[in-house]
């Protein structure tokens, strides 16, 4: 006797927002644009990846740029009491000296703008020759501080997103597509609930490549 599922399929809790083909196409365009821009510079630009989410975007972006680049990473964390205040601490600082270098901050998502605002101020104080920022996703509707953003992949609606670097409680960063979470309350109740559907069931309609 087959079991009748007690609840709707868990895949109903998410939907694809940006699939891998659209990601790849847009990242190639951004890479070409950035590669062309920095090809004119005297020295290789320093790309600053903001851990952890941007590592995935950065890895694909630099391969699309077609020029020499230097990669460094930074990790910052909001003080819990000041999460909305923009008060952050540096968990891991850069190894590179930014003096007189062209610097590009690489973000996976800009939401309130507080993180990028802090990074632009902090890195701007280190005397770079130029300082620009690129983000894969721009959640403009959530901005609480205005921030300069020279390059952006996609403007996204105010929905919770996972995949391609973006996580829910540390999970789902390695999904190849960006998915919108439709039922956040249900996921919060059981953070790993989507894992078996998204990673293990290769049924028709699965978001994973065969
Ligand atoms: C995300 C993203 C940005 C920040 C943007 O990082 O990578 O750094 O949030 O949000 P804001 O515009 O509201 O400041 P997150 O704190 O989720 O860390 P993670 O990349 O390690 O998941």
pLDDT for 136-150, tens place per residue? 999 999 999 999 999
Please give the pLDDT value at position 169.
95
Alpha helices in 138-204 (DSSP H): 184-189, 195
Catalytic entry in 102, 111, 177, 197? 111
Number of Cβ within a 10 Å radius of residue 209: 8
Report the relative pairing of strands 46-50 and 178-181 from DSSP bridges: unpaired
Confidence of residue 7 (pLDDT cuts 50, 70, 90): low
Instruction: Indicate whether residue 53 lines ligand 1 (CB < 6 A).
Output: yes
Task: Output the six-digit token pair for 38.
Answer: 């920095």
Question: What residues have CB less than 8 Å from 16, skipping those under 6 apart?
Answer: 177, 178, 179, 180, 207
Instruction: Indicate whether residue 115 lines ligand 1 (CB < 6 A).
Output: yes
Q: Judge whether residue 121 has pLDDT over 50.
A: yes
Q: How far apart are CA 19 and CA 6, in angstroms?
A: 30
Percent of the chain at pLDDT > 90 equals 76
Ligand 1: atom nearest CA of 147 is 12
Q: How far apart are CA 142 and CA 189, in angstroms?
A: 24
Q: Residue 119 — φ and ψ, nearest 5°?
A: -65, -40
Task: Output the six-digit token pair for 181.
Answer: 């979470």
Q: How far apart are CA 159 and CA 173, in angstroms?
A: 16
pLDDT in tens, 66-116: 999 999 999 999 776 555 666 788 999 999 999 999 999 999 999 999 999
pLDDT in tens, 132-181: 999 999 999 999 999 999 999 999 999 999 999 999 999 999 999 999 99
Average pLDDT of the chain is 89
Domain boundaries 20-157, CATH class? alpha beta
**Does 167 qualify as catalytic in the annotation?**
no
Please give the pLDDT value at position 86.
65
Task: Output the six-digit token pair for 192.
Answer: 């790993």
Closest CA to ligand 1's atom 2: 109
pLDDT in tens, 51-65: 999 999 999 999 999
User: What are the residues facing 134 on neighbouring strands?
Assistant: 106, 151
Instruction: Indicate whether residue 114 lines ligand 1 (CB < 6 A).
Output: yes
Q: Higher confidence at residue 10 or residue 183?
A: 183
What are the extents of the domains in the chain? 20-157
Please give the pLDDT value at position 199.
83
Instruction: Indicate whether residue 111 lines ligand 1 (CB < 6 A).
Output: yes
Please give the pLDDT value at position 88.
83
Alpha helices in 51-158 (DSSP H): 54-65, 114-124
Instruction: Indicate whether residue 52 lines ligand 1 (CB < 6 A).
Output: yes
Ligand 1: atom nearest CA of 142 is 13
Task: Output the six-digit token pair for 210.
Answer: 């065969």
Ligand 1: atom nearest CA of 111 is 12
Using omega within 30 degrees of 0 as the cis cutoff, is the peptide bond preceding 22 cis? no
Q: Is the pTM of this model over 0.75?
A: yes
User: What are the residues facing 135 on neighbouring strands?
Assistant: 107, 152
* Residue 47 burial (C-beta neighbours within 10 Å; 0-12, 13-18, 19+): buried
Q: Which of 48, 49, 50 to mutate to test the pocket of ligand 1 (most atoms within 8 A of CB)?
A: 50
Helix, strand, coil share of the chain (percent; to 5) = 30, 30, 40
CA of 115 to the centre of ligand 1 (A): 7
Q: Is the dihedral of CA 98, 100, 106, 107 positive or negative?
A: positive
* Residue 159 burial (C-beta neighbours within 10 Å; 0-12, 13-18, 19+): middle
Instruction: Indicate whether residue 88 lines ligand 1 (CB < 6 A).
Output: no
């Amino acid at each position: 006797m087959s079991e009748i599922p007690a609840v709707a399929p868990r895949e109903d809790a998410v939907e694809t927002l940006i699939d891998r083909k659209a990601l790849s196409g847009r990242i190639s365009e951004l890479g070409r644009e950035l590669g062309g821009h920095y090809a004119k510079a005297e020295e290789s630009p320093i790309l600053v990846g903001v851990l952890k989410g941007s590592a995935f975007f950065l890895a694909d972006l630099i391969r699309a740029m077609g020029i020499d680049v230097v990669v460094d990473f930074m990790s910052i964390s909001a003080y819990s009491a000041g999460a909305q205040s923009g008060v952050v601490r540096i968990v891991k600082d850069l190894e590179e000296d930014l003096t007189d270098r062209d610097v590009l901050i690489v973000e996976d998502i800009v939401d309130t703008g507080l993180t990028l605002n802090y990074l632009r101020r902090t890195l701007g104080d280190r005397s770079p020759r130029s300082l620009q920022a690129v983000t894969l996703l721009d959640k403009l509707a959530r901005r609480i501080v205005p921030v300069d953003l020279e390059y952006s992949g996609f403007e996204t609606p105010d929905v919770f997103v996972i995949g391609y670097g973006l996580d829910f409680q540390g999970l789902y960063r390695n999904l190849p597509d960006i998915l919108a979470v439709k039922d956040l309350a249900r996921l919060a109740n059981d953070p790993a609930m989507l894992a078996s559907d998204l990673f293990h069931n290769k049924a028709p309609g699965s978001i994973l490549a065969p």
